[in-house]
Amino acid sequence: MGLVGSLQVVVLVALTSTATGLDIPLEVEQPPTIITYTSGPMVALPFDNKITIRCEARGNPPPEYRWTKDGEDFVPPYVTTDYPDGTFVLHNKGLIAFKGKYRCYASNKLGTAMTEEIELRVPSMPKFPKEFNFPVVVKEGEPIILECNPPEGMAPRQIYWMSSDLEHIEQDERVSMSTDGNLYFSNALQNDSRQDYCCFAHFFKIRTIVQKADMAVVVKSLKPGNESADAGNATQAPPARIPSMLLPSGVQTEKVLLRGENLQLECIPQGYPTPTVKWMKMGDKLPLRTQMNNFGKLLFISSIHESDGGKYMCKAQNSAGEVVHYFNVIVDDPPKWETEPPHSQLTVIGTDVHIKCSVSGKPLPDITWRRNGDVIIDDPGSNKQVFDDTLVLLNARAQDSAVYQCEASNPHGSILANINIMVMNMAPRILTRDFQEYAVVQGEDIVMNCSVFSSPPPNISWAKDETLEIVKAERFLAVDGDLKILSAEKNDRGKYLCVASNTEGNSSITAVLDVKDSTKIVYAPQDLQIISGTTAQLMCQAEVDKSLLGAFEVVWRKDGEEIPLSSEENSRYFMDDGMLQIMSVNLSDQGRYTCIARTILDEDNATALLTVLDVPDAPKNVEILELKSQRNVCLSWVPGSDHNSSVTEFIVEYEESQWEPGRWKELKKVAGNQETAEVALQGHLNYQFRVYAVNVVGPGPPSEPTERYKTPPAAPDKNPENIRIRGHLPHQLDISWEPLLPIEHNAPGLEYKVSYRKLGVEDVWKEHLVQRHSFVVSNTSTFIPFEIKIQSRNSHGWGPDPKVATGYSGEDVPTAAPRDIAVEVINTTLLRVSWTPAPPATVRGHLGGYVVHWLRKRSWLEPNRILDDRKMLFFPGKRTLAIVPGLEPFSEYILTVNVLNKKGNGPNSDPVTFNTPEGAPDPVPILTASNAQKDSILLVWAPPLKTNGILTGYLLQHHLVNETTLEAVVSQETNITGADTTQWQLRGLEEGSLYRFHLRACTRAGCGPPLAQESRTPVTAALPVLLNISSYVSDTFAKISWIAETEQQDSELYVAYMNNRDGNWLVTEAVNASRSFHVIDGLKPGTVYTVRLMAKRLVDNASIFEDVIQTRDKAKGVLRSNFLTQGWFIGTMCAVALLTLVALMACFVRRNQGGKYAGTPPPSSTQRQDMVSMEKVKERENLHSDAESQGMKDDTFCEFSDSEEKPLKGGSLRSLPGDEALGDSVSRGSLDDYGNVGREFNEDGSFIGEYSGFTHRGSVSEPSAPRPVKA
């Protein structure tokens, strides 16, 4: 790529100016100095997008730029903004027009600097010209030259000669290709004839290969008498030909090269037989670097020196004669500076200025002098005189200040130097900033700068500001105008004055020095041993001067290399508060870690050694040595590195190829200080062994396996183990055992001898040989003991004498039951059972235990209801007593016991009947506090789910709570004797106080656990007065309407509603009371909701009204139109309409006679148990006398549309659960145990929820006559 990365060319960029020797600060006016430019030549490739030519200079004033191309002014087509002003970009399109030599000029009012010529080469895409090649016809023995003439292109270039099938033309001493690409035949042979000689040129840089048109060669054979003949006639060998040069031509060639280039001299002769080529250097030996290539025809010397110049000769000879060719090799040099380019100079007016341009080269370069880019013409009357390589300015004046150029050139190139000559008289100008602040730590050196520009040079002195005395102590040194203080001390701090003066004037500045405390590591890292794979922690803490904390940092180096600390996830190095953590340490982390605590002024360091402990390396050179027999061998090995942790043990493993090839198993362990192990082997196996070492870190890798080692066959070394004797059937003995492992067979033909006899009687051993590892003895008695022996045998003999095992034949189910069953009722849920065991002979097997069965026949709460609640418990082992838990109180039970063995249960014992006593009831499932007044609260609850006896009433305790300590202050107890009572009005309470209530249900056995609830008596406050509250319910929305009195028109109301299925309340935004209605939308069809109207956003006991509504179901029972037109359907609907009319009339009559509920007595105790409504329904007809406007719900006698309006019920409500709840809470979860039974609505639309499925949210109390309602 080129300068901007888009061109694949070699570009040298000069990064420093050639005007050297004078460093003038840019604050001083000065002529331009070229600091960067593109050094050519530049080569643009065809597929490059653009090429950038750079030129940048510095000067004061800033320089302006211009360019020339081939000596003519050139205006760049596009000057880039990515680089300084002198740089321009040429785009690929039409780039050929910009080929040439460029020069950059940078000018300001003080002079002009210029660059060397920058050559831009734009090669065209290489291709061979279209041409027709006539066949080359020669006689045998004559030479052939096939010309390639490859096109020019981007170097490097490679030439190939191939056939049309892309097969290389074979080359040798007779046939070869020269460096110019032509193919030379020293003499033609018959087999050189072919039609497809092709020349290919490969240009690597542009990745291009071009092909020349095919060329044909016809070689005619010779008849006797040297007459040519066509192929097929008799031929003879060609006549001898004296050698001559096909390449090069003539007798002598001159070869001029530059020092460092590669020398190639080529001689390709013709002749028959094929000549051989020899090389020599006249008057000298060939250099040792000389190489002979191309079958001796090409002499190659790399990077030639001046001593390689001279005359070379090549000689080609054969049996017919010889020919020679001479090469005169000349080694030249391009121009170069003998030492360095001439320096820029600053001088005072009236002095002589000498500019010497010392160059060398071969031939000697010509020197051209320029001033500001213009050639200096030698004028005797001018003060500018040229003497050979020196330009002299006599009695220089200020107007002689300029940029002078020295350009030296010869045929091999040119070099150019810009020399800035500044002639002036100027008073000192201090370039260092006044009141520059310096800081140094105590004991270190500091240099305070005083950079001065003046002409003539200034005298510079330093003084301490307080005393104005010249600083002359031993620790204070003047270095080029700067002041250097050695080993700074605290009393060196302060202000220092630098004074510069010359004949033109003087100037001064002040420097401020502060001496700070040095940085010290106070907690250095400690040497550490760490296990590979874990995390290493190295701590480093330092003290630093407080003023340097902002520039303080801690860095770590490992073995001298800084550790890269990165926040990336894959980084293993982390540092926090001076601690270096190395995650997943491995062996490469071992080394010396240096902590460097540094500021911008100084640093301190400390080093610790980190030793990594890793698993041992694999042992080496594992060898096998036989001992007393072939089945006892000794293994030896050479331990590997233990990686800083001593080996604790070596483990020998084996693998055998017969039974489990490829699976390695542990054979033996030896101590870590041993290097041998003796092992006993099984017979008839083909082993190989390996060893691995273990240290405290863990096991290391295994060694390389040994060669195979085969053991001879032998009799078994052991008999089967783990003999199991069972009886799967009553008259059967099942014998099984753990067979020998395959590697334990020791020889082929393994089988087992099974011997058995009855135990305890005179009986002979019965024997059987089997190959499997089980055996069955049939026709045995039930549960009889036997003695059994198992012995192994193979083709080489018997195993050792076996041991005797005992066992029993098969079991059968027991035949008798336990006797004398006795029960003792411990409490309402616990029972003690005892029995006399069945006779052992009837068990007929191993005793498993006893099973107790009990049946709950009835509950004495419902004596006429027969139950079938069966349960059982298993009690293992031999026993006569058991404790049975989990009984139900106040119930009748039947109990039996049976014995159990592995075969099954025996018969049940005679049943025993018993009763459990009455118990204390379960806690009440729900307790709510509602209708809170200033001195009373209404408590409503539901009966306990399980009474465990006959309910006698409730025990109510209420406690006045201190809201600071949350402790009870005053406690009272109330006995509620009515078993049917589910609510209680507590009176005589204190206004605005917090109370805690505990309610227990009681039977004759006592009272159950309490359910707690808290509530507060309100402080009397006025609430909005609303009239005629009603609702209109549809399938997905409900409309709540009301009438507010005039003084309440500006009050704010809130509507809350809850889906009774999930218990989550939603509260609307504030609604102005004057609006008279609010619509709740987004409801689910066919769903029961509880609705509240409140004066506060928080749903608490100050709620105004509550009601339960149910949305309509969508489109139930829609019939097709053709069904509706049937006659029978029309008749049926008419009858239904008539019956509905009669029902409505009856309903109206009853309501006019006092209402369905007016004057009715309270529900009976049976009704209270069946219905779990938590409210007493009161009469509502007087509140809304128009009966036709009252909504009727499903499942009621008088049914109107679901969407008609109905009055809402008033009452105090409990608070919402969750964060918004401020009032009393409701334990809704306790009602879930009631299941999901039926539910119904009363005639005015309010919900009579049964405890089976819904939680009531509060009691409802309505007035008996039309009046304003207040909470």
Above 80 in pLDDT, residue 268?
Answer: yes
- 671-696 pLDDT, tens digit per residue, is 999 999 999 999 999 999 999 999 99
For 260-273, what is the mean pLDDT? 95
Pairing of strands 603-613, 215-223: unpaired
**Residue 261 CB contacts under 8 Å (≥ 6 apart), including other chains:** 303, 304
pLDDT score, position 1220: 37
For 765-790, what is the mean pLDDT? 92
Q: Using 50, 70 and 90 to split pLDDT, how confident is the model at 128? A: confident
For 579-593, what is the mean pLDDT? 92
Most confident of 401-415, 964-978, 1076-1090: 401-415
Above 60 in pLDDT, residue 1227?
Answer: no
SS3 307: helix
For 698-720, what is the mean pLDDT? 94
Instruction: Quote the CA–CA distance of 1095 and 1054 in Å, as a whole number.
Output: 6
Q: Using 50, 70 and 90 to split pLDDT, how confident is the model at 702? A: very high
For 835-853, what is the mean pLDDT? 92
Instruction: Quote the CA–CA distance of 1207 and 1094 in Å, as a whole number.
Output: 16
pLDDT score, position 272: 94
In angstroms, the Cα distances linking 970 to 723, 954, 990, 1013 are 77, 20, 11, 16
Above 70 in pLDDT, residue 1140?
Answer: yes
For 1259-1266, what is the mean pLDDT? 34
pLDDT score, position 1228: 33
pLDDT score, position 241: 93
- 47-69 pLDDT, tens digit per residue, is 778 888 999 999 999 999 999 99
Mean model confidence pLDDT for the chain? 83
Above 80 in pLDDT, residue 587?
Answer: yes
pLDDT score, position 83: 67
* Token pair in block for residue 101: 């030599």
* Token pair in block for residue 327: 């090469």
CA 882 to chain centroid, in Å, comes to 61
pLDDT score, position 356: 93
pTM of the model: 0.46
Instruction: Quote the CA–CA distance of 754 and 1267 in Å, as a whole number.
Output: 105
| Residue from 1161, 1185, 1180 nearest 1245 by CA | 1180
Greater pLDDT, 1200 or 1008: 1008
- 899-953 pLDDT, tens digit per residue, is 999 889 999 999 999 999 999 999 999 999 988 888 899 999 999 999 999 999 9
Greater pLDDT, 192 or 1229: 192
pLDDT score, position 215: 93
* Token pair in block for residue 541: 């803490």
For 218-232, what is the mean pLDDT? 65
Instruction: Quote the CA–CA distance of 111 and 860 in Å, as a whole number.
Output: 126
Above 90 in pLDDT, residue 307?
Answer: yes
Cis peptide before 77 (omega within 30 of 0): no
Cβ atoms 1185, 1237 nearer than 8 A: no
pLDDT over 90 percentage in the chain = 60
- 313-331 pLDDT, tens digit per residue, is 999 999 999 999 999 999 9
pLDDT score, position 1098: 59
* Ranges assigned E (strand) in 1052-1207: 1052-1059, 1065-1067, 1071-1072, 1077-1080, 1088-1094, 1105-1110, 1205-1207
- 1178-1198 pLDDT, tens digit per residue, is 333 333 333 333 333 333 333
**Residue 559 CB contacts under 8 Å (≥ 6 apart), including other chains:** 591, 592
| Residue from 1264, 1261, 1246 nearest 1212 by CA | 1261
Above 50 in pLDDT, residue 1074?
Answer: yes
DSSP per-residue string spanning 170-223:
P--SSEEE-TTS-EEESS--GGG-EEEEEEEEEETTTTEEEEPPPEEEEEEEEE
- 1014-1036 pLDDT, tens digit per residue, is 998 887 655 666 777 888 889 88
Above 50 in pLDDT, residue 663?
Answer: yes
pLDDT score, position 395: 93
| Residue from 446, 489, 435, 432 nearest 600 by CA | 446
